[in-house]
Amino acid sequence: MKPLALNNHKNMLSVYPIPAFTDNYIWIFQDPATHLAYVVDPGESAPVFDYLNQQNWDLGGILITHHHWDHTGGIEDLLAKYPVPVYGPDSANISHITHKLYHGDSLAIGNQLTFEILEIPGHTLDHIAYFLNSEDPLVFCGDTLFAGGCGRIFEGTPAQMHASLSALAQLPKDTRVCCTHEYTLGNLNFAKTVEPTNADLLERIAVDSKTREANSPTLPSTLALELETNPFLRTKAQSVIQAAETFLGSPCNSDVEVLAAIRQWKDNF
């Protein structure tokens, strides 16, 4: 499969989702200035080594969004061959981080790529995202925002997850959403239960179903598409509010309560 080009601009960045485990993606891109490759959340090393060998690329660095093993398990093996910087959150749960990143920091790669760091807790407390604010905006958002869904709230609170998703929702609408699991069809199936008459959602299900039938990734998504079809970004929509209240059997008094209700619903879906 060819790398996914992010738009038809002269200096576009191409990113590629390397499949790992059963449904993970390890994102890889090449710095246009140095031609070094960077990987995001390498849960295992073998598919990364394979891709680097196929492309005849050298690794320049590793970007980590949070501490879960399926996002960090390949770091040690990669460092054994490539002693490169490891960027990530300030987390006691990730021993290999060499450059700790905090909300509002900038990460410059070469002289053409600068990522803005967003702290987006909820799924875990140490979760960060990498936002490339350019002609071709993209965000590596780990397990916080998924195509058609969001991550489980393992360590944070519904209020934290809502704040994190709200921050991501404020990014430019053409931002490419590079999350790390192929959960799209399952998420959209749940979304259809929440909003069965959402025409944009029904169209997306048809398109993404054909994509998966062709064994192609449904990612990256776009923020515009998520705002139209992802119930976790649509907590102000009356249709989502009504569905959440029907599930709970009681009124929801805030966006946070709507999100908490549909997350609880999804957890048991």
Catalytic residue among 41, 67, 123, 208: 123
- For residue 184, how many other CB atoms are within 10 A of its CB? 24
- State pTM to two decimals: 0.95
Our answer to whether residue 70 is catalytic in this structure is: yes
Cβ atoms 17, 34 nearer than 8 A: no
Our answer to whether residue 67 is catalytic in this structure is: no
* pLDDT of amino acid 8: 35
Our answer to whether residue 103 is catalytic in this structure is: no
Give the contacts of 32 (CB within 8 A, at least 6 positions apart).
11, 13, 110, 112, 113
221 vs 4 pLDDT, higher one: 221
Our answer to whether residue 68 is catalytic in this structure is: yes
Domain region containing 73 = 4-267
- For residue 142, how many other CB atoms are within 10 A of its CB? 27
Catalytic residue among 71, 136, 162, 208: 71
pLDDT at 23 over 80: yes
Q: Tell me the average pLDDT of the chain.
A: 95
Catalytic residue among 41, 67, 70, 126: 70
pLDDT digits (tens, 9 = 90+) for 160-185: 999 999 999 999 999 999 999 999 99
Amino acid at site 204: R
Cβ atoms 38, 28 nearer than 8 A: yes
* pLDDT of amino acid 7: 36
Our answer to whether residue 66 is catalytic in this structure is: yes
Cβ atoms 235, 259 nearer than 8 A: yes
pLDDT digits (tens, 9 = 90+) for 207-227: 999 999 999 999 999 999 999
Tokens 């139209």 label which residue?
Answer: 228
* pLDDT of amino acid 12: 62
Radius of gyration, alpha carbons of the chain: 18
Our answer to whether residue 123 is catalytic in this structure is: yes
Looking at residues 138-164, what average pLDDT do you find?
98
Indicate the number of domains in the chain: 1
Catalytic residue among 136, 181, 208, 255: 181
CA pseudo-torsion sign 51, 56, 62, 63 = negative
Our answer to whether residue 99 is catalytic in this structure is: no
Looking at residues 133-146, what average pLDDT do you find?
96
CATH number at residue 13: 3.60.15.10
Rounded Cα distance between 209 and 13, Å, is 26
Catalytic residue among 68, 136, 162, 255: 68
Cβ atoms 29, 134 nearer than 8 A: no
Rounded Cα distance between 251 and 59, Å, is 52
pLDDT digits (tens, 9 = 90+) for 52-106: 999 999 999 999 999 999 999 999 999 999 999 999 999 999 999 999 999 999 9
Cβ atoms 61, 31 nearer than 8 A: no
Catalytic residue among 66, 67, 127, 162: 66
* pLDDT of amino acid 68: 98
* pLDDT of amino acid 5: 40
* pLDDT of amino acid 34: 93
pLDDT band at 9 (very low <50, low <70, confident <90, very high): very low
Residue percentage of the chain with pLDDT more than 90: 94
What Å distances lie between residue 80 and 47, 88, 202, CA to CA? Answer: 15, 18, 47
* pLDDT of amino acid 3: 43
* pLDDT of amino acid 267: 97
